[in-house]
Chain A
Amino acid sequence: MILAYIQNFDGKLKKASFEIASYAAAIAKMANTEVLGIVLGQIPDDQLQKLSQYGVNKLVNVTSPNLEPFDPKVYTEAVAKIAENNQITGFVFINNNEGRAIAPRIAARFKAGIVSAVTQLPESVNPLTITKKVFTGKAFAKTIVKSDKFVITLFQNSYGLQEVPVDMTIEKIELDLPQPAITVIEKNVDISGKIPLTEAEIVVSGGRGMKGPEYWGPLEEFARLLGAATACSRPVADEGWRPASEHVGQTGKIIAPTVYFAFGISGAIQHIGGVSNSKYIVAVNIDKDAPIFEVADYGIVGDAHKILPELIEAVKKLKQSDS
């Protein structure tokens, strides 16, 4: 079976949870086997039930008082215990903070070759052969896993959701797990309801060409109209024009939205390293020779301050004609 690690977001399943189920289902099909989904921690049944739409054949929900706070060693123990009771040939995780904390530990535990941050399905499953980006996107490497088990982490948003309705069994297990070695002393979560950057389908981003923090109003309004998250280049975050959490690129967040809008961003290689997985890149830059146009799909050569209000009007018009 293929074990899908389905992340429990405080009692809810999110797109990342269904995406990894969909991905596991496609691999299981290639390998002529089934998907074992594992969800750790308390979660309502109606949430779990949704996974039957995404190809999970058998779902195990593990509970234990020791699953709080998140301790990767304890979580690894839980996944390993479930895996040992089933015939697992492959493990799949989403390549986010939580997945990256556990997947390598599982790989070491089962002596399974790990291929990280892939953006596509394997070419074959026996032996597992899959292409991944290397040199931070400057090349691709066809990779073969030589061990009998494999671990894959999937780049978030790169596969998407595929509905595969199946009959799913749910098993609830209370496991005896070690005490967490982590004590949380402070927790700070943004409750503004803003879409997290790594999950957003559309991202609107500004660079030094925006001139200063006082010019961000139209950019934010454009983002709001599109239901987009906002981002920025590194110098913009370094200058304190925008919060550091918005900085994308090699040393910031790595994102893969459907559309990435770059206003006044030159397109330095380190910036592109963080956004090159976007399906479409749209650039507005005053300089027709800016490197951003080499990677962009659509663009306007012009002043962002003039074009943003016009874009806002155009979207409003579109929304009116659609409704």
Chain B
Amino acid sequence: MKILVLISNVPDTTTKVKFKDNKFDTTGVQWIINPWDELALTRALELKKESNGKIEKVAVAMVAEKSAEPTIRKALAMGADEAYRIDTTAKDSYSTAAELAEALKDKDFDLIMAGLESSDYNGLSVGAMLAELLGINSVSAVSGLEFDGEKFIVKRDIEGGYEKLTVQTPFVAVVQKGIAIVPLIPNMRGIMMAKRKPIHVIPAKGVEPLIEMVEFELPKPKPPVKLVETAEELINLLHNEAKVI
């Protein structure tokens, strides 16, 4: 079995977001593996380790320019075996998924893992979109993943609960909360080994995006909190002023 984890390169989640000329201002920004993707990769690596060699490979793929390679190296340091970088700037979900589909169509991964969303533009789309473009199955809302030696057992969240299921491979799993609890932290050996692992650079097709973000705005400052002394005053305000209880 072979697993591919899609990773996106995003600003550290504590970044103070600023814009310059209506573009995200990257000055001084630290770049990280998108948190969901880091958890997806963590789970993929755990499964490989427990699989007695039945999961032979965990690779990662990213659509990004060369400057994102340190983030890819971090994924290799965590333990991924190899990486693909599709050499273009990610523009929107569609063009990203289409570039990935083109680059992956002749690669035989059994499972492709994607995160729920990228923490920068919150597209919530690339995983399922890629499945459609490749014409393969997908499961979304995946909150757990096991491997029984032959097939993957997928846990997915549904209204008020969960289901465990199997899916015909190949398929895309879009993962969310529960897939892993804490991300794997690369150790010294991992970091050293990562230097020798391959990053295959694949030229992009130049797919045009379908959406464009033309203007950015920061949230307006909120009016200050109304502090009261007693529970009774609070309930009265919520009842008479906000009219919500």
A residues near B (Cβ < 8 Å) are: 9, 69-73, 76, 95, 97, 100-109, 111-117, 131-147, 153, 181-190, 196, 202, 226, 238, 244, 247, 250-253, 258-259, 269-270, 279-280, 282-283, 293-301, 307, 310-311, 313-315, 317-318
Contact = CB atoms under 8 A, between A and B. Distances in A.
Which A-B residue pairs are the 5 nearest by beta carbons? A113-B210, A310-B231, A101-B140, A189-B161, A108-B132
A32 B19 CA distance: 36
Contact of A181 (B121, B137, B223): B137
B201 interface: no
B13 A114 contact: no
A97 B132 contact: no
Tell me if B's interface is mostly helix, strand, loop or mixed. mixed
B211 A116 contact: no
A171 B136 CA distance: 30
B139 interface: yes
5 contacts: A102-B128, A107-B94, A135-B15, A141-B215, A298-B237
Interface residues of B, number: 83
Contacts of A107: 93-94, 125, 129, 210
Given A108-B94, A108-B132, A315-B235, A298 B225 contact: yes
Interface string B112-156: 000011011111111111111100111111000000000001001
B176 to A, nearest CB: 9
A100 B121 contact: no
Given A186-B164, A190-B160, A307 B245 contact: no
Given A111-B94, A142-B217, A269-B14, 12 more contacts: A9-B159, A73-B131, A104-B97, A114-B123, A135-B119, A141-B213, A181-B168, A184-B165, A190-B161, A244-B177, A270-B13, A282-B234
Given A113-B210, A136-B13, A146-B211, A73 B244 contact: no
Tell me if A's interface is mostly helix, strand, loop or mixed. mixed
A245 B242 CA distance: 29
B97 A108 contact: yes
Nearest to B240: A318
Given A73-B137, A146-B209, A252-B177, A104 B129 contact: yes
A97 B141 contact: yes
B17 A115 contact: no
Contacts of B127: 104
Interface of B: 11, 13-15, 17, 19, 35, 92-94, 97, 116-117, 119-133, 136-141, 153, 156-168, 171, 174, 177-178, 181, 209-219, 222-223, 225-232, 234-239, 242, 244-245
B214 A142 contact: yes
A196 B159 contact: yes
Contacts of A111: 94, 210
Nearest to A134: B121
A72 B139 contact: yes
B211 A114 contact: yes
Nearest to B131: A105
A185 B130 CA distance: 26
A300 B228 contact: yes
B133 to A, nearest CB: 5
Given A298-B226, A314-B234, A109 B132 contact: yes
A100 B227 contact: no
Contact of B232 (A105, A244, A310): A310
Contact of A143 (B117, B162, B211, B244): B211
Contacts of B14: 269
A108 B238 CA distance: 45
A114 B96 CA distance: 13
B122 A143 contact: no
B235 A314 contact: yes
Contact of B239 (A131, A183, A252, A318): A318
Given A187-B161, A190-B161, A315-B235, A108 B214 contact: no
A153 B124 contact: yes
